[in-house]
Structure 1
Amino acid sequence: MNISFKREEVLNGVQKISSILPQKSGAAFLRTIWIKAQDSKIQFLATDSNIEIICNYEGQIKEPGLIGIQGKIFADLLKKLSSGDVNIQLKDQKVIIKQNNNKYTIPSVEKSWFQELNNFPEENKKIWSGDVIKEAIDRVYFCIADDESMESMTCLSLKKGNKDGEIEFCGLNGPKMALYKIYNDDIYDIIPDDGILINKKIVNELKKILTEEDIEINLNNNRLFIRTIDKKEMYSFPLSSYEFPKYHDFLNKYKDQLNSILTLNKQSLIESLDRLFLFNTNTKSTVFKLSEKEIILSAYGSEIGEAEEVLECEYHGNLNQIVLMTKDVIEMLEHFNSSLIKFGFSGTLEPFKIEGEDDPNYVIYAMPVEIEEESYYTEE
């Protein structure tokens, strides 16, 4: 092989490829960046056995071929080189990298270890806005579980909604669930009827690569494919085979039960809860005492003392008091764009929901806290 390319044109792709490679553990071929030159195209390829990345660039190909090179050292070297032409040759099982009068020699990886990666499926490919996907992920990500033993709850769920063109992004970890809906007829058509699940580790990689730019997207062979519009970068991710909880059964069960409605200013509530959290040395929770025009928030710490704040609100319902996890409520509220937030309660030990007037396609469900009032307020 003997090729040349512009360092600044390939640097970004090589850095992205390097980010998925294991640095120390794992088989040597999983720590390898493969360089393939043929048909006037230079490809950089790598996989960690799950994620696959292929980057395509133009360059000068004096002699086509395939080489494998230690991924981290190559990416780090490329990052430190100057802008301009870089030449790569393979001689005597060694990769020789040249720029101007500078030369670097790195051992090559055995070619027999190379395995062909999945190509982007052209049939039925769709175009989707990267910032739309990124926002949808951000809205539900905090409800995706980290504990791998929770299986499907460690995944982001994408499935068809009840309306044509409606796509539901859902994160569910047991005590919390976030549901965000968007509308796109083209993407709706390629999502299977039972939906798809994307493991949180894969979601983390998606968050790194998604920008505001449009992308090409497709599904095939139980994999998710994403490609930049200029076709220079292609990513392939495995989909999870777990079965996601049937959350629509839950939604239907409580649809008519969340009748105690509390409406108040989001920012005022966040600021109050943030102060009350200073007193959460015991239960990490806040008591909400509800009445028609004001809500009294109180917290207690056995060694700190007590705190109480009063906020204006609108409330109608039969529930007089409920206890919620302070930090959890703050986190949930921060995902809304609305200035006014509406809580729907069904009981002191039943799920509640949060909605916003300027977030019509977004809802969060969570569980209150069970605490004896006597033990909550009495110092030992």
Structure 2
Amino acid sequence: MKISIERGTLLKAVAQAQSVVERRNTIPILANVLIEAEGDTVQFRATDLDIEVVDKALAQVERAGATTVAATTLHEIVRKLPDGALVTLTADAASGRLTVEAGRSNFSLATLPREDFPVMASSEYHSNFSANAAVLRRLFDKSKFAISTEETRYYLNGVYMHVSTGTDTSKVLRCVATDGHRLARIDANLPLGAEDMPGVIVPRKTVGELRKLLDDDEMDIAVSVSETKVRFATPNLTLTSKVIDGTFPDYTRVIPAGNTRRLEVDAGEFARAVDRVATVSSERSRAVKLQLDEDRLILSVNAPDSGAAEEELAVAYSDERLEIGFNAKYLLEIANQVDRENAVFMFNSSGDPTLMREGSDESAVYVVMPMRV
């Protein structure tokens, strides 16, 4: 195999590959990227056996062929090459080496046989549809902060993507994530062809990798879903992932329907105020107390070891007086999701879950559990 490829194109493809491979693994081939050259394209494939990413790029292919080389090492080399350089990759089967040349730089890397590289089995997908990148980005970006990191509750270690019924009884594509302390439920119009999609839990790592496909707002992403796998594809990049084998809990039971005390506040001001008062506490889980009175909100933190802080905000609130506490980090993460000017909080009592929306938009709903203060 011998190819010549522009440094920027190569860097993008290798960066995607090396982020998928596991740094520590017992199977050496899984640290490698499979490079396959044919016609005028070169394909870079990487996997950790749960996720597989395939990146296609245009290149001058002098000699077709394939080899595998350490993804992280290749990425580091390409990253340090000068901008605009033309990189030549030459694989020599006899010596088992891959030569990387650019200008006066020359590297020789050990390779492993392509036959040893595991390729994820293609599966029969029940549902195939197309969704705009901006729509998918919103669904996953606004829900992923609530993914659980508790490995024992593995079925919460991802975003539950499924078809549901929206507030106006029409069908929607919905993403939900929760860790038992906070919950995010985000809706989008149901794409054509997604009606029979099985509900799947997309793992945390896949959600992180998927974000790299969704930068171009104009692009449509081909989505394929089966009971065990999910695939997201652009013309040049394909991300295939196993889904979490588990049942996502009935999240509808924790979304409060009877909260009547309504607080409306400037989302940016609120987030900055929470961040400021939480500064006095060294504990990330310190409670922030919200004291609500007629059109007035007082945020306070009391940390006996380090000090206390208080800040007052002008808000829209006309219900009876309420004092309620929240984990500062959770409150900040939810407030930072708001794209619109105002955040609307709906309370019941100091011991009940609180619901938050972005203004009058009901397609994004957040729930956070209170803390005793």
Taking structure 2 as the reference length, the TM-score comes to: 0.84
The aligned counterpart of 1:201 is 205
Q: 1:8 to 1:284 in 2, by over 3 A?
A: closer
Whether the aligned pair in 1 keeps the contact of 2:129 and 2:194 (CA below 8 Å) is: no
Partner SS, residue 186 of structure 1? coil
The aligned counterpart of 2:186 is 180
Cα drift, residue 351 of structure 1: 0.8
Gaps of 5+ in 1: 372-380
Q: Determine the C-alpha separation between the residues in 2 that align with 1:293 and 1:102.
A: 67
Partner SS, residue 10 of structure 1? helix
Q: Aligned partner of 1:11: which letter? A: L
Whether the aligned pair in 1 keeps the contact of 2:295 and 2:315 (CA below 8 Å) is: yes
The aligned counterpart of 1:161 is 164
Whether the aligned pair in 2 keeps the contact of 1:287 and 1:321 (CA below 8 Å) is: yes
Q: Aligned partner of 1:68: which letter? A: T
Instruction: Choose from 133, 140, 145 the match for 1:142.
Output: 145
Q: Determine the C-alpha separation between the residues in 2 that align with 1:268 and 1:38.
A: 55
Q: Aligned partner of 1:181: which letter? A: D
Q: 1:246 to 1:187 in 2, by over 3 A?
A: farther
Cα drift, residue 335 of structure 1: 1.3
Partner SS, residue 174 of structure 1? coil
Whether the aligned pair in 1 keeps the contact of 2:51 and 2:240 (CA below 8 Å) is: yes
1:211 aligns with 2:212: no
Cα drift, residue 136 of structure 1: 2.1
The aligned counterpart of 2:371 is 369
Q: Determine the C-alpha separation between the residues in 2 that align with 1:120 and 1:4.
A: 33
Q: Determine the C-alpha separation between the residues in 1 that align with 2:301 and 2:369.
A: 18
Query: In the TM superposition, what are the counterparts of 1:216-365 in structure 2 within 5 Å?
Result: 216-220=222-226, 222-228=228-234, 231-251=235-255, 254-255=256-257, 257-280=258-281, 284-303=286-305, 306-317=308-319, 320-357=322-359, 359-365=361-367
Q: Aligned partner of 2:195: which letter? A: D
Query: In the TM superposition, what are the counterparts of 1:1-80 in structure 2 within 5 Å?
Result: 1-38=1-38, 41-80=41-80
Q: Name which of structure 1's ranges 97-106 and 362-371 shifts more when overlaid on structure 2.
A: 97-106
Q: Determine the C-alpha separation between the residues in 1 that align with 2:288 and 2:104.
A: 67
Partner SS, residue 174 of structure 2? strand
Whether the aligned pair in 2 keeps the contact of 1:51 and 1:237 (CA below 8 Å) is: yes
Partner SS, residue 191 of structure 1? coil
Q: Determine the C-alpha separation between the residues in 2 that align with 1:237 and 1:179.
A: 22
The aligned counterpart of 1:378 is none
The aligned counterpart of 1:107 is 110
Q: 1:284 to 1:53 in 2, by over 3 A?
A: closer
Q: Determine the C-alpha separation between the residues in 2 that align with 1:366 and 1:139.
A: 14
Partner SS, residue 161 of structure 1? strand
Q: Name which of structure 1's ranges 242-251 and 277-286 shifts more when overlaid on structure 2.
A: 277-286
Q: 1:26 to 1:314 in 2, by over 3 A?
A: same
Q: Determine the C-alpha separation between the residues in 2 that align with 1:338 and 1:145.
A: 26
Q: Determine the C-alpha separation between the residues in 1 that align with 2:310 and 2:106.
A: 69
Q: Aligned partner of 2:249: which letter? A: P
Gaps of 5+ in 2: none
1:132 aligns with 2:138: no
Instruction: Choose from 149, 170, 176 the match for 1:170.
Output: 176
Q: Determine the C-alpha separation between the residues in 2 that align with 1:123 and 1:41.
A: 30
Whether the aligned pair in 1 keeps the contact of 2:293 and 2:320 (CA below 8 Å) is: no
Q: Deviations over 1:239-265 (max 9, x none)?
A: 1111111112333xx31x201222233
Cα drift, residue 81 of structure 1: 4.4
Partner SS, residue 54 of structure 2? strand
Q: Deviations over 1:69-128 (max 9, x none)?
A: 233333333344462252423241423425567654333313441333456989964332
Q: Which structure has the highest helix share of the two?
A: 1
Q: Name which of structure 1's ranges 87-96 and 118-127 shifts more when overlaid on structure 2.
A: 118-127
Q: Aligned partner of 2:237: which letter? A: E
Q: Name which of structure 1's ranges 151-160 and 291-300 shifts more when overlaid on structure 2.
A: 291-300
Q: Determine the C-alpha separation between the residues in 2 that align with 1:85 and 1:310.
A: 59
Q: Determine the C-alpha separation between the residues in 2 that align with 1:227 and 1:120.
A: 15
Whether the aligned pair in 2 keeps the contact of 1:296 and 1:310 (CA below 8 Å) is: yes
Cα drift, residue 309 of structure 1: 4.1
Q: Aligned partner of 2:178: which letter? A: L
Query: Alignment identity in percent?
Result: 18
Taking structure 1 as the reference length, the TM-score comes to: 0.83
Cα drift, residue 348 of structure 1: 1.8
Cα drift, residue 50 of structure 1: 1.5
The aligned counterpart of 1:375 is none
Whether the aligned pair in 1 keeps the contact of 2:38 and 2:64 (CA below 8 Å) is: yes
Rg larger for: 1
Partner SS, residue 185 of structure 1? coil
Q: Aligned partner of 1:113: which letter? A: D
Q: Name which of structure 1's ranges 70-79 and 96-105 shifts more when overlaid on structure 2.
A: 96-105
Q: Determine the C-alpha separation between the residues in 1 that align with 2:70 and 2:282.
A: 50
Q: 1:233 to 1:276 in 2, by over 3 A?
A: closer
